[in-house]
Chains A and B, each alone.
Chain A
Amino acid sequence: MTLALGAERDARARTVTGAPAADVFPIEPVSLATKAMGGRLVVHLDAVGRADRAGHDSRQVIARIDRWASRITRYTDTSDLALLNADSSPAVAVRPTLAAALAAAITAADTSEGFADITLLDARLTAEGHGHLAPASRLDEWTTERRQRGAAVVHRPPGLRFDLGGVGKGWIADRALALLAGWRSAVVDADGDLAILCAPGRCWDVAIEDPRTPESHLAVLRLAARRDGAPTRWGVATSGTSIHRWNVGGIAGHHLIDPRTGRPAETDVVQATVIAGSALRAEALAKAAVIAGSVEGFALLERARVRGAVLLTSRGEVQALPVTMPLLAG
């Protein structure tokens, strides 16, 4: 069944390149799981017969992720991000890791047409019942100026605080995957945001969890290398309103703040999964699709030319962009 939604349709000619070849073999990985960034962190490697090496490299990557996360989290008072948020100066020097994460946040904001917005921390805390102000987006009020060796100076009005949140997880997943460039096929799972590398002839089966019954899934994606023979990178991320929720004064809320209103988004999308070329891009666009709602969200995803998207709506429908269909397993 097809539905025509009232939104902009991009008529540019496109080529479907994401379909995996028929003769690819699912990977049974060697996996190492731990907890990090307030959730799970898993490194999967296609490492048949090389389990020892896989364990060594996975532990190295997890140690690096812990280090990055400790610098960009808002949940401690000593992280680089917390120090930036607490600084009363209009221009604050930051170290390379935070500078790179903030640059990724700017990319995410551009990619998502402003929906992935890291300036909404105070709006979110207000929605959670921990604050008294609920400003909308302040995306236009900050810039970064790069300095030597990756450091930067952040210019922003004192009091403007950042929350890297999901953008930070997507960025970390991508950076961690780059550390695993010596492996032909690998996945970094940063609490559901996946950075994936796949070698020719192999494929990763990725289940999209059904938030209504977590032991079930909405669909299974089969992500393989492109037919040109080169290893292919994928990013898969899921965002939604059904897990991270709260109730303040009898009013239900969730963590996805609409930058247009400064309040939890009023949306008909319960969960959005986006398949793209990087975890950062997928994360930003999945969040945007949820906040924007299904009609505007699908139009935005089409403009962004994602590789695939699967949305669960409040009506219980599971909808996808047509480009997704060749990526569905079985």
Chain B
Amino acid sequence: MMPKPQPARAPAPAHTPKARPDARPMRLALGGGGIAVLSALATAIVLPPQPAAPVAIDDPQQEVTEPPATQLQVKRPVQYVQLAPGETAPPGAKVIDASAPTPMTVVVTITAAPQPTTRKTTVKTTQSGRVVP
């Protein structure tokens, strides 16, 4: 990004002591970066699914076929619950203790301003769809 031209300033008096930079923003940034690194180390990536069964490439009439299954049903897993006295948690649900501290998700803010595309990237991910008239 091109720096904005700065307005002209009056010369500072000769006796003005040299200002020292404020160290706090850098300390905050370093601390935040450390948290991000720790979070990244504690983060996993799922293994990719097995490639789908190959199908013949040269027969556009061919239907997709999947391995036979008896029945598929919509499953709506309960992820987290808080229980009232006497209640029990559904299978697989994680019980949240109401008195526990608020859990957190750490994210990183990418601070670089958007740049015009200068490198050759032929593959692009975008929102799909079109404007409805």
Q: Which A residues lie at the B interface, using CB under 8 A?
A: 1-9, 11-18, 28-29, 31, 38-39, 44, 57, 60-61, 63-64, 66-68, 95-97, 99-101, 103, 106, 109-110, 113-114, 128, 139-140, 142-146, 148-150, 166, 169, 174-175, 178-182, 187, 189, 191-194, 196, 204-220, 232-234, 236-240, 242-246, 255, 271, 273, 276-278, 281, 295, 298-299, 302-307, 310, 317-326, 328, 330
Contact = CB atoms under 8 A, between A and B. Distances in A.
Interface of B: 28-29, 32-33, 35-37, 39-49, 51-55, 57-58, 60-66, 68-77, 79-80, 102-111, 114-117, 119-132
Contacts of A144: 71-72
Nearest to B31: A2
Nearest to B61: A67
A8 B105 contact: yes
Nearest to A130: B132
A150 B105 contact: no
A53 to B, nearest CB: 12
Contacts of B43: 14, 16, 302, 305, 321-323
Contacts of B64: 68, 96-97, 100-101, 150, 175
Most buried by A among B36, B58, B110, B119: B110
Nearest to A327: B45
B66 A16 contact: no
Contacts of A103: 66, 72
Contacts of B53: 178
A319 B124 contact: no
Given A39-B130, A144-B72, A181 B51 contact: yes
A150 B65 contact: yes
A7 to B, nearest CB: 5
Contact of B121 (A142, A193, A207, A278): A207
A109 B124 CA distance: 25
A150 B74 CA distance: 18
Interface SS of chain B: loop
Given A14-B42, A216-B114, A325-B108, A60 B57 contact: yes
A12 to B, nearest CB: 7
Contacts of A307: 45-46
A243 B125 CA distance: 13
